[in-house]
Amino acid sequence: MKIKVAGVGLTKFGEIWDKSLLDLALEASKEAISDSRLALSQIDAVFVGNMLIGKIAGQDHLGPVIASSLGLSCASFRIEGACASGGLAVHLAIQGILAGTYKNILVVGAEKMSDAPITQITWALMGAGSSKERKAGLTFPALYALMAEAHMQKYGTTRKQLANIAVKNHYHASLNKMAQYPFEITVEQVLESSLISSPITLLDCSPITDGAAAVVLSADDSKKGVYITGSAVASDTIDLAERESLTELKATQIASKTALKQAGVEIKDIKIAEVHDCFTIAEILAMEDLGFCSPGAGGKFIASNATRLGGKCPVNTSGGLKACGHPVGATGVKQIIEITQQLRETAGQRQVKNANIGLTQNVGGTGATVVVHVLQN
């Protein structure tokens, strides 16, 4: 597999009061098309990753909304897979190119979350959970809190180890002008912030974010550039309680194994990664499930600074979902953009030296959907 990331476009992430979802999607899309140096007429499909806009603004049927606003009459689709909607849209666009149906596809992930009150967003996000979870009054912070508790019980992972992840990702975001929270925080601030769902505090959580991210994927492999060489999706039970283990995401293990095999590389070859740190515990699970460290060792591994900028394998140099922000439908696409910028050596202050192979992991729900991509230059 060799799919070129021909162009990238990204809006500022944050509470963007003066722009609608369509404004954000068009801004990112036009930048990506311009960056690709393709003419608009050469785009032959539009894939849109989005989870929430139908629930919070009543606007479904998003594919043609965005395609027609760009002046395109080509095929257009909306892809929904909870917080993995963006990664799924990239994966499906790749399949469309590999099948020979399309040659140049615009993939845009977009979400507009700050227009709705917090209780409505919390309720809408629980659409990614099970009926039993909704009836129990669970929320996504609570579901990840249950996984954190299970990890603490089984492996002795500490609150401070969780807080270290938020501190690291805020440091990375402080170097990223597109991040929602481009400033540093301390371990003490994380530990002392208000409880959302014990043991998870406010600063363990990714925020509610507006933003859009777009890439143009192309079948053209004639020139030097950044290419997606592995792309895989795996599924698990929608209900966390039904899993064999509460301390691992089986879908991450399956999808990463497949994507790495497609790319012909091993996890030890990965120089940089963007993983789904929707809550701090999620980055620990990602490190373990992807094979960067052994099960139970994630907290210590991250505390060793191996995944901080300057470490052996920097993780979430964008600031991750935690500090760059998490406009859920855009996140999986933004991860592709961050790795592309690193491999192009255009990441500025947060540039990782000699980065030539990168990986993204995008999670839907509590791991019912996981998308993994491998990128190389």
Partner 1 sequence: MSSPVTVWRHHKNIKNYLGKTGKIVVWTKIFIAPAGFEHEAPYPVAIVEFSPSAGSGLVTDRMPLQLVEYEEKHLKPGQKIVTVVRKLGKVGLDKVIEYGIKGKPV
Q: What's the gap between Cα 310 and its chain centre? A: 22
- Which tokens hold the place of 84? 């993995």
Q: Tokens 């399309």: give the residue.
A: 102
DSSP 139-206: -HHHHHHHHHHHHHHHH---HHHHHHHHHHHHHHHTT-TTSS--S---HHHHHHSPEEETTEEGGGB-
Say if CB 269 and CB 357 are below 8 A apart.
yes
| Residue from the set 63, 109, 141, 325 that interacts with partner 1 by CB under 8 A | 141
Q: Which of 58, 71, 100, 137 binds partner 1 (CB under 8 A)?
A: 137
In the bound state with partner 1, the residue whose beta carbon lies nearer, of 95 and 153, is 153
- Is 293 annotated in the active site? no
307: left (phi over 0), alpha (psi -120 to 50) or beta: alpha
Bond before 199 cis per omega within 30 degrees: yes
Of the CA atoms within 13 Å of residue 230, those in its CB half-sphere come to 26
The residue range among 48-56, 143-151, 217-225, 313-321 that interacts with partner 1, by the rule CB under 8 A, is: 143-151
Helices 140-155 and 280-290, packing angle to 10 deg: 60
Task: Rule CB under 8 A: choose which of 11, 36, 197, 218 binds partner 1.
Answer: 197
Between 201 and 335, whose beta carbon lies closer to partner 1?
A: 201
Instruction: Confirm or reject binding of residue 122 to partner 1 (CB under 8 A).
Output: yes
Nearer to partner 1, 106 or 145 (CB): 145
Residue 199 or 296: the one with the smaller Cβ distance to partner 1 is 199
Within residues 224-253, the interface with partner 1 by CB under 8 A covers: 239-242, 244, 246
Active site residue 172: no
Q: Would you tell me how many other CB atoms lie within 10 Å of the CB of residue 44?
A: 16
**By CB under 8 A, how many residues form the interface with partner 1?**
34
In the complex, what is the shortest distance from the CB of residue 146 to partner 1, in angstroms, rounded to a whole number? 5
Task: Report if residue 119 touches partner 1, rule: CB under 8 A.
Answer: yes
Question: Which stretch, 10-18, 119-127, 315-323, 360-368, contacts partner 1 (CB under 8 A)?
Answer: 119-127
Of residues 151, 172, 276, 326, which has the active-site annotation?
326
One-letter amino acid at 2 equals K
The rounded distance, in Å, linking the Cα atoms of 217 and 32 is 10
Minimum distance, C-beta of residue 242 to partner 1, in the bound complex (Å): 7
Name the active-site residue from 83, 205, 278, 313: 83
Active site members: 83, 326
Residues at the contact surface with partner 1, assessed by CB under 8 A: 118-120, 122-123, 126, 132-139, 141-142, 145-146, 149-150, 153, 194-200, 239-242, 244, 246
